[in-house]
Structure 1
Amino acid sequence: MVNALGGTNLTSIEACETLLSKFFDKNDKGFYEKGIMKLNSRWFYEKGIMKLNSRWQQVIKKNGGFFP
């Protein structure tokens, strides 16, 4: 979207709506469906990254042993 909007000066809400409609109409429905389906896996990935510090602290406390 940055590439599509770069250097654009929108002077009204109507101009903004027109530009956005044209932008989103460029791709078919399947393009957006695939992106939406990937959101869940992306969220789990990011959530997992955020847990790494606390998980490593648990490993250290257990001297490398298993923890649930």
Structure 2
Amino acid sequence: MLNTYIDTEYAPEKCSLCSGTGNAESGVCEACGGQGNVLVAQPAIICPLCSGTGNLETGTCRACGGSGWALL
């Protein structure tokens, strides 16, 4: 399912922080809000800072919000 917002198409992609489960160590995944998917601008681009993992050594990647996808 594609959604269009202001001439940009978005589609659900699996959340990298929780691997699509919707759950994190502390409960509900903060990146996807427990949905397991996040809406990502298409074409989808893996976050260059965390290489799509959603995590950095210091914790959740703030560049992508933990989703693993570049936010354009």
**Normalised by the size of structure 2, how large is the TM-score?**
0.21
Q: Say which one has the larger Rg.
A: 1
Structure with greater proportional strand content:
2
**Greater relative contact order, per chain length (Cα 8 Å cut-off, separation 6+):** 2
More helix by share: 1
